A and B are shown apart, each in its own frame.
Chain A
Amino acid sequence: MALTDLTAEQAIAAIVSGQTSSCELVEAHLARTERDVWNSFLAVDRAGALARAREIDALPERPPLAGVPIAIKDALSIRDLPTTAGSRILEGFRPVYTATCVARLEQAGAVVIGKTNMDEFAMGSSCENSAYGPTLNPWDLTRVPGGSSGGSATSVAARQVPWSLGSDTGGSIRQPAALCGIVGLKPTYGAISRYGLIAFASSLDQVGPFARTVRDSALLLQAMVGRDPMDATSLEWPVPILLPDAERLDGVRVGVIEELMGDGIDPGVRAACQTALARVEALGGTLVPIKLPHARYGLATYYLIAPAECSANLARFDGIRYGHRAEDTENLLEHYERTRGEGFGPEVKRRIMLGTFALSSGYYDAYYGQAQRVRTLIIRDFATAFAEVDLVASPTSPTVAFPLGERTSDPLAMYLSDVCTIPISLAGLPSISIPCGLSEGLPVGLQLAGPAFSENRLLAAAHALETAIGFVDRPTGSGE
């Protein structure tokens, strides 16, 4: 078996048992990373990664993550590594500090080998909004990998790394995981510190892992979870994150979200999800149809709240302290207009305009205020559902990976890519996407979600289903 085919858990075992070393493993993954036909990386840190691997190999005892390589979405700040968030406005920017979640992983013995491509400032569902060119889906190079964390998803699917970090605001981990046939986990809002995550929509942003197994995602979550004094919204974690090992679902009640199993979902996707869900009962669980009456307002709600927050979050990119600065401007206003006009791409500009409008005097209550009220109703819908079921399920994405360029000229069509993931984001709930089959030869993701703090329950169910589904397909879209 090639070193790059190992799961992270297998790789750790191989290092601990002396079959391989961190250096060997990092070198093998760097080789695939540097032959980046998918454009999944924006920066590769060969020297830094190998230096760190040598350090770990020289330790008397392996740290928990044993020097296994990882890729990090370019939305996360890492000291001295180029960090652009996929934007021209941060071209050449090197942060002075490292995000808490990355620092925790490094502390646990992960080796960062590079930064991955993304939709600019995490705004997009296809990775086509990157200022540095789109990432290509390893299953079919003419298709998108999903977004916004498309580079991180691709890097794992294409065996450039066994695992990676992404961030999920409305589906940016789960949807690309689904489209790339891997596991993507968005934890409870506040589970992982956002300190160092370049903000898109602060009340929704959450860091999470991509991996090829549920157990690998649990390992990464374990190393990152918990309160950070630098993030006021981070949470004290009540119980340890466990590595799931149960293969049964006895007594587990899974609510199937009716609104997300009908119109708007591709038949092939629906069929794959239904087949996978049928296994719930085979494993001893029960399926319960549930309704989320306000879920259909999720998209509209999200596209007021997220742009509103981003309009303020992205205001700091003014060319005064760092990043792109327009040349030869005559006055302050021109400096702002040209710096930001040149630095931001069209989708970012669109959302800043939307959000600025939604917060404007006289419109606030009708737009932002109303969206917050609907968000509360969506949260209540989930609370009602979780009174009856332990977890809810739906497809992760209404379609399989779509062709490059298909939706770039139609923002609404692009926004619909996240129709299944957004309601869960608005409610701040933990959610995971696992590959559950193929449609048209492309992977389909099944989304599971649970109440806040139910990560252990969620991971256990995902692991049992993953085992039962036995998804063994891997990208054949070449690039090999």
Chain B
Amino acid sequence: MSPSTWEAVIGIEIHAQLLTRTKMFCGCALSFGDPPNTHTCPVCLAHPGALPVVNREAIRLAIIAGHALGCEISGSSVFSRKNYFYPDLPKAYQISQYDQPICGRGRFRYLTEGGEKTLGITRAHLEEDAAKLIHLGGEGRRANADSSVVDFNRGGTPLLEIVTEPELHHGSDAAAFLKQLRQTLVHLGITDGSMEQGSMRADANISIRPVGSTGLGTKTELKNMNSFTYLERGIAAEVERQIGVVESGDVVTQETLHYEPATGHITSLRSKEEAHDYRYFPEPDLVPVVPDRAWVEELRAELPELPIDRRERWIRDLGLTFEDAEVLSEPAELGDYFEQVAALAPPKSAANWVRGDLRAQLRERGQEPWDSEVSPEAVAQIIELVESRAISMPSAKSVLAEVIETGGQPRAIVAEQGLGSIQDESALVAIVDTLIANNPAQAEQLRDGKDKLVGFFVGQAMKATQGRADPERIGQLIRERVAAG
């Protein structure tokens, strides 16, 4: 059988650190990069007698995320203990949620180049992150380490774990889903979504089956894909591996795998036989979370426009391409800025300017449109000047540079620096005639049909006018005068 006869079945599990001020079950501040063990207390160090107390802000963020994921919000959700021994888990159990998660079934819409798709959400639940183990010596790997130490600063950070249905079939869709999910969660202020720093992590559950079959094959869990590209590549590599296993007459074994992005290698972390029995049971130190119904509805009503809705609206109502919409939607501040320009200028031009010249010029100065001196009105004015042919494109770029530099008004800059297009037809004819006279060889070739040389003359004309000529009109004049000559 060939790979085209196999279908991959993929589900994703996402862990997102929540943007709360304090940890999930104690008052310690969240931190990143602070000296080790400076954000700890008896609760997150699991001292004898210490008890957890649920962070209300984490509940609020989980409910907002649940609304964005299209999930049912549970009227009563329960925390459970997930028991296993490891030095990064001070209580030797993680407080998580098991059979009564805060967010139940849902369906999440995500945008791909081929249009909108949806993915079923199985659940989303709250839990606490483990601490960080640091292995000293032996290249930082546990197996060869001289010793290992623990930094408990991260221990107890609130996590939202989102589990999808196994409904994906391609790594590209998995990546598109994850992109949209990340954008949504970041937009809603639920997580900072940094995959490099590990504040958002994705694992994939992967199996294969013959095309046309509806059963599910044995799945493997692939971990450590800390970018969209790695997720896509990791899935592709694992699907290929599984097809190879099955086609060589073997069976896929249930195991947890580690994807090494640098090499593309997949290695086994543990098999089913080594899997933990987590002995989940309801956390007796906490009472069920019973969010007030009115509050839940209030949070739903307060939900802002989701990134996917915004992008679809831009494509539908403003005529943007998928790519324009994708680029402009990230981060949300860029989208806000674009919308302000698009309210004053043709949206397509607004899109080109905001994602193009404006952003490029500002970036050289380490700025972004929304934190710069350039107002959306100024950008709209430049667009208007260009589109009314009052200034040429090269002039427009200089005007923009000037606006960035001085914060001035585009119209005023055009007037002061005499950047307005040369509107006087006879002046333009004179310039063209001079150029033809000074470049007889090129004029001759053009006359003989070497049309490429129009560009040469336009370039010369722009140089001669410091970019104030309308290149299109110059092109027309060149052709006319050469033919006439």
Contact = CB atoms under 8 A, between A and B. Distances in A.
A31 interface: no
Interface stretch (A193-201, A211-219, A398-406, A414-422): A193-201
A309 B81 CA distance: 10
Interface in A86-137: 90, 93, 95-97, 99
A246 interface: no
Contacts of A315: 83, 85, 91-93
Interface string A54-93: 0000000000000000000001110000010100001001
Interface residues of B, number: 28
Contacts of B313: none
B304 interface: no
Contact of A77 (B46, B48, B150, B284): B48
Contact of A316 (B52, B91, B277, B287): B91
A232 interface: yes
A146 B301 CA distance: 59
Interface in A262-278: none
Interface in B31-51: 42, 45-51
Contact of B285 (A232, A317, A336): A232
B49 A76 contact: yes
Interface in B69-101: 81, 83, 85, 87, 90-93
A99 B52 CA distance: 14
A316 B286 CA distance: 18
A322 interface: yes
B462 interface: no
Nearest to A197: B49
A364 B281 contact: yes
A77 B49 contact: yes
Given A315-B91, A320-B87, A359-B279, A232 B287 contact: yes
B83 A232 contact: no
Chain A binding site: helix, strand, loop or mixed by DSSP?
A: loop
Contacts, number: 102
A336 B50 CA distance: 22
Interface in B258-305: 277, 279-281, 284-287
A286 interface: no
A332 interface: yes
B92 A308 contact: no
B306 interface: no
Contacts of A320: 87, 90, 150
Contacts of A199: 48-49, 285
A231 interface: yes
Interface string A229-254: 11111000000000000000000000
Contact of B83 (A196, A312, A336): A312
Contacts of B81: 312
Contacts of A408: none
B49 A231 contact: no
A90 B92 CA distance: 17
B54 interface: yes
B463 to A, nearest CB: 74
A75 B90 CA distance: 20
B48 A95 contact: yes
Contact of A321 (B46, B53, B281): B46
Interface in A349-365: 356, 359-361, 364
Contacts of B52: 232
A87 to B, nearest CB: 10
Contacts of A316: 46, 48, 90-92
A93 B284 CA distance: 25
A95 B91 CA distance: 16
Interface of B: 42, 45-54, 81, 83, 85, 87, 90-93, 150, 277, 279-281, 284-287
18 contacts: A77-B47, A85-B48, A97-B50, A99-B49, A194-B49, A198-B49, A199-B285, A232-B53, A232-B286, A233-B285, A309-B281, A311-B279, A312-B83, A315-B85, A317-B48, A318-B85, A321-B46, A360-B277
Given A312-B92, A316-B91, 5 more contacts: A202-B284, A232-B54, A309-B281, A316-B48, A321-B90
